[in-house]
Every structure is written in structure tokens, then in C-alpha cells.
Amino acid sequence: MDFAREELLALAGAHDAAVCTVHADFSDVDAIAEAGAVVAYTCDVRPSAGESEALRHMVANGGRLLGLHATNSAIDPPTPGGPRVFRTPDAMPEFTALLGNRFLAHPKIAPYLIEVVRPEHPLVAGVGDFTITDEIYVSELAGDLDVLLDVAYDGACPGFETDQAISPRQPVLFTRPEGAGSVTYLTLGHCRGRFDLADLGIEDLGVLDRVAWESAQYREVLRRCMAWAVHGDGWQDCPVEETS
């Protein structure tokens, strides 16, 4: 999380129009109400119904919500003494409805071909199909998504209660409307530090896992998504400011 936070703040900091605050969860509903946009890179952070409504109200009034990677996840650990199977309960339905998707499972991290669905859309125009080593998310999806990138995967997801992909293609980047505003979601962006699994009993993984962030295409799409979060739909006409 520290690595992702630093990277996202650097992307936001390239725009003088961005004035950021950082929060570990969604409990500061006053800050949400005052924001023009919220960028969320979390994992198993479960907003309450009231917090989700504050987010929905911000977006519906013309704001923007950029959801990244595991923000859509609620993950319960395996039952002690039972099989090593992670459960993904429907624990935050109001937030799921706003995001337009709920994490169910993912196959093992491996190289996957990400394909452009809407090549004319500014968030992906000129990027082209690309291969990335990352997590591919199998999710429960809303019916109003405008899918921009997706991936072909209909195989197994070992270790999760949902152990099989439920459709042949999995959305990777998509948008959905909410009132006068909109939501953009990008499922890519796995990263893990040496000590990030200490709570699961692994004191030191011994390696840094940032392979996804080594993809130039992923970084370009993420850069555009952050510019959209800062400026809105006219982001491509807003120059990036030089920073000292």
C-alpha cells in the first residue's frame, strides 16, 4: 500500500489543480463531501452504508470516483482448521452498486493479454493490446458498464470460494454513470512488499512484487485515469504542470 500510495500521489502531484488528502478508509464523510474526486486503492476496506452514500452523493453531484485494483474486495480468511479457501462475501452492497463490480476471485498471477475494447475512448486511445503480469479479477458486474479494456479468461481460480470464472471475458477498465458524475474502475495494479503478509503469519516474503507496475502500458492508462480524476472528462485538454 505504501508503494501504491507514493505512486498515485506522484501522478496527482503532476497536476497543480490537485490538492490531496490521504485516508486509510472512507470514514471522513466530510472530506468526501468537499472533494471533487476520490481515488481509492484499498483491499478489504468495507465502507458502511452511510460512507457509501456519501461517496454516491459526491459522484451524483458531478464528482468522480476512480477505483483501483482491490478496492472492490471484501475478503474473509480461510476458516481455521478448514481448507485454505478465501471467501468474498457481499459485505458492502451499497459500495458495490456504486463501483459497478464486486470482487469474487482471481487466478494465479501470470502474464495475460489485455485487449482494447473501445480504441476510440480517450483513456485507451493509441495504447493498443498489451501483455502484463498481474492479477486478473473475476467479478460480479453491473449491467451499465462501458468496458474499455478486457481479458479472455474462463479458467479456474484456486483458493477462492468462487473457484471458476463465470464468463469468458473479464473487464479490466470500465466506466459507469452515477447521476451527474461517473465512476472509472481499473482492476490492474497488484503490488506487494516484503512484509505485507505479516498478518497472515508470513513475517518476510523476501521479495518485492511490483511486476504490474513495470508495464509501460499500465502506467500510461493509470496516468490518464488520474488526469481524468483531477480534471474530469476534459482532462486531455489540461496540460500536466511542471514540478520542481
Rounded to an integer, the average pLDDT of 48-56 is 98
CATH number at residue 161: 3.40.50.880
pLDDT recorded at residue 198: 79
pLDDT of res. 7: 97
Q: pLDDT confidence of 179, banded at 50, 70, 90?
A: very high
Q: Is residue 244 part of a domain?
A: no
- 32 lies in some domain: yes
- What is the per-residue pLDDT across 54-84, written as a single tens digit (0 to 9) for each? 999 999 999 999 999 999 999 999 999 999 9
In a domain, 242, yes or no: no
Continuous H helices in the chain: 2-13, 29-34, 49-60, 93-99, 216-231
pLDDT band for 192, please (50, 70, 90 cuts): confident
What pLDDT is stored for residue 243 in this prediction? 41
Nearest to 59 by CA among 86, 37, 28, 82: 37
Q: Residue 192 sits in which domain range? A: 2-237
Determine whether 29 is exposed, middle or buried from the number of CB atoms within 10 Å of its CB (0-12, 13-18, 19+).
Answer: middle
Strand order in the sheet with 146-152: 37-41, 64-68, 181-186, 169-178, 146-152, 110-116, 130-134
Strands 110-116 and 101-105: unpaired
Q: What is the DSSP code (8-state) at residue 95?
A: H
Residues in the chain, overall count: 244
* pLDDT at res. 209: 86
Tens of pLDDT, residues 114-160: 999 999 999 999 999 999 999 999 999 999 999 999 999 999 999 99
Q: State the total domains in the chain.
A: 1
Q: Estimate the crossing angle of helix 2-13 against helix 216-231, to 10 degrees.
A: 60
Domain annotation covers residue 90:
yes
pLDDT, averaged across the chain = 94
- pLDDT tens for 81-107 read 999 999 999 999 999 999 999 999 999
- 212, 134 contact by CB (below 8 A): yes
